[in-house]
Amino acid sequence: MFSHHVTSLSSPYFHGELTAAEDHRVAEHLRICAACRGEYEVVKAGVRTASEIKVICAPESVWVQVASNLDGGQLPPARLWFLRPLAIAAVILLIAAVSLLLLRQHSADPKPRWNVARVGGLPRIDSVDIGESGKLGVGQWLETDASSRARIEVAAIGEVEIDPNSRVRLLETNSEEHRLELARGRLSARISAPPKLFFVNTPSGVAEDLGCAYTLEVDNDGNSILHVTLGWVSLQLTDRESSVPAGAACAMKPGFGPGTPYFEDASELFRAALLKFDFSGNPEDRKSALATVLSEARARDAMTLWYLLRRVDPCCRPAVYDRMAGLVSPPPDVTREGILNLDRPMLDRWKSRLSIRSDVPAKKIHSLWKKLWTETLGRIHGFEGKQ
């Protein structure tokens, strides 16, 4: 009985990596073998230790250096002793990649469709129940009723969960752009791709993914509200744009487009006044709402005030400047006059002082990444690029 000790299986047993039969055998053996049980306790102590490994935030200087190296065209130094095997590997890789590409091109669906999985209830595509799963083609509507939910696989770049009482349509999917329309209801998106590849149209504006996770809700009147949980999302309607960071939200209304972003932990009074300022047609109401916004603003709300600098009437701009300067001092080379004249470099320098993470290096990297991604991965995944 003791000839088949299970000490070597302790870790996979703990992690649930064994087959059902093995798992049962280990459990039974541990019950009767004190030696193996002792070893298992040591492994469990090791697991507890390892479980305390924490993710450490990389210093910003890393990304600045990466961005500047990319700008300067500096590549990582070549390691000479790798050159020969690397060349051989490169040839093999090239042959494999070309073969794969050809294979994919031959087998590629000329009309890519997205996989849809039922999460609950009876989701429908073009009024037909999908059962456990279905395919969403360009132009097709996916609808959920009060008791149904669905999950859409967005090409190879992420997934979108559709809540009950929602109606979404696939508008476009190719290597340059994946676009959904949310006519009503709510979706939650998690996108693992370079920015500006995934878009959601709503009746009040467009949500553009800048590398993020978020929820977007549209009511029956076409009003939208965006909540960002990771990264950034840009909301746009014609020439009006709001970039919304993680932890912030932003409303949109048909005809107005995106309002002003705000952090969700701002005071109720602040948020209500901001809504009135953004969407009221009455100039007096807007003026009094602005006064409330300014008086209620905390240092963290300087992000909102930064947007307001460009959105208020020129006569109100000094008040916004003064309040914002009282919350977050402008850098030494940023002048009051420059800000009141909406000098863009000065506005950007001040923005970099706010407690929002600097996104400049990331933006540079993202643009290069997107180029590489769309040129290479897009083709590999069978999408046709613009070229």
Partner 1 sequence: MLFEAYKDRVYSVAIYSLAGNEMAAADVTQQVFLKLMTRINQFRGDSDFATWLYRLVINACHDEYRKRRRFVSLADSFLRTPARGDSPRARYARKELCGRVQAAIGELKPKLRWPILLKYVEGMSYEEIAGLLGCSKGTVASRLNRAHKALGKKLSHLKDQV
What residues line the site for partner 1 (CB under 8 A)? 7-12, 15, 17, 39, 41-59, 61-63, 65-66, 69-70, 74-76, 79, 90, 93, 96-97, 100, 156, 158, 190-194, 209, 211-213, 230-231, 362, 365-366, 368-369, 372-373, 375-377, 380-381
State which residue, 69 or 329, has the beta carbon closest to partner 1.
69
259 with 235: CB under 8 angstroms? Answer: no
Q: Kindly report the backbone phi and psi dihedral angles of residue 347, in degrees, each rounded to the nearest multiple of 5, phi listed first.
A: -60, -40
Question: At closest approach, how far in Å is the CB of 41 from partner 1?
Answer: 8
State which residue, 256 or 369, has the beta carbon closest to partner 1.
369
Question: At closest approach, how far in Å is the CB of 232 from partner 1?
Answer: 9
231 with 197: CB under 8 angstroms? Answer: no
State which residue, 286 or 366, has the beta carbon closest to partner 1.
366
State which residue, 31 or 48, has the beta carbon closest to partner 1.
48
State which residue, 70 or 316, has the beta carbon closest to partner 1.
70
Question: At closest approach, how far in Å is the CB of 267 from partner 1?
Answer: 29
Q: Say how far apart CA 116 and CA 156 lie, in whole Å.
A: 13
Q: Say how far apart CA 28 and CA 190 lie, in whole Å.
A: 42
State which residue, 228 or 302, has the beta carbon closest to partner 1.
228
Question: At closest approach, how far in Å is the CB of 320 from partner 1?
Answer: 31
Amino acid, single-letter form, for residue 271? R
115 with 135: CB under 8 angstroms? Answer: yes
Q: Say how far apart CA 51 and CA 18 lie, in whole Å.
A: 20
Q: Say how far apart CA 262 and CA 308 lie, in whole Å.
A: 11
Q: Kindly report the backbone phi and psi dihedral angles of residue 279, in degrees, each rounded to the nearest multiple of 5, phi listed first.
A: -120, 0
Label residue 92 exposed, middle or buried (CB < 10 Å: 0-12, 13-18, 19+): exposed
Going 273 to 277 to 280 to 283, the CA torsion angle's sign is positive
- 3-state class of 186 per DSSP? strand
CB atoms within 10 A of CB 113: 16
Question: At closest approach, how far in Å is the CB of 40 from partner 1?
Answer: 10
Question: At closest approach, how far in Å is the CB of 375 from partner 1?
Answer: 7
Question: At closest approach, how far in Å is the CB of 258 from partner 1?
Answer: 21
State which residue, 323 or 366, has the beta carbon closest to partner 1.
366
Question: At closest approach, how far in Å is the CB of 44 from partner 1?
Answer: 7
State which residue, 326 or 385, has the beta carbon closest to partner 1.
385
Going 56 to 61 to 63 to 66, the CA torsion angle's sign is negative
- 3-state class of 218 per DSSP? strand
The length of the chain, given as a count of residues: 387
